[in-house]
Amino acid sequence: AQSVAQPEDQVNVAEGNPLTVKCTYSVSGNPYLFWYVQYPNRGLQFLLKYITGDNLVKGSYGFEAEFNKSQTSFHLKKPSALVSDSALYFCAVRDGGTGRRALTFGSGTRLQVQP
């Protein structure tokens, strides 16, 4: 079975400060990891993914994430937060082997960036 944990329901950060949204995962095979963002009344938008290669992945809107195999983590980061980054963020995983193709999502973390 595969699972994702996002331990923080909400993260508050001041505009201009760095932000981190935490994600840990469990999967039996090779992890394929994803971050999605959801703005109010909108569908999910893809931010970035890790399949293989460099542990540091860069994505849309200045976001990046670091894959850490030993800690089974894939935290989302941004050096300088914007008020417009305020949204709901989801981490997701799938087994990169012959396992289930559907994504397993975390429960989401609401990011609130204060001006």
Partner 1 sequence: GAGVSQSPSNKVTEKGKDVELRCDPISGHTALYWYRQSLGQGLEFLIYFQGNSAPDKSGLPSDRFSAERTGGSVSTLTIQRTQQEDSAVYLCASSVDSNEQFFGPGTRLTVL
Residue 74: strand, helix, or coil:
strand
Residues 15-44 that bind partner 1 (CB under 8 A): 32, 34, 36, 42-44
Kind plus residue range of the DSSP H or E element containing 31:
strand 31-38
Using CB under 8 A as the binding rule, whether residue 104 contacts partner 1 is answered as yes
Distance of closest approach, residue 23 Cβ to partner 1, in angstroms: 12
Region of 72 on the Ramachandran plot (φ > 0 left; ψ -120 to 50 alpha; else beta): left
Footprint on this chain of partner 1 (rule: CB under 8 A): 32, 34, 36, 42-46, 49, 51, 90, 92, 94, 100-108
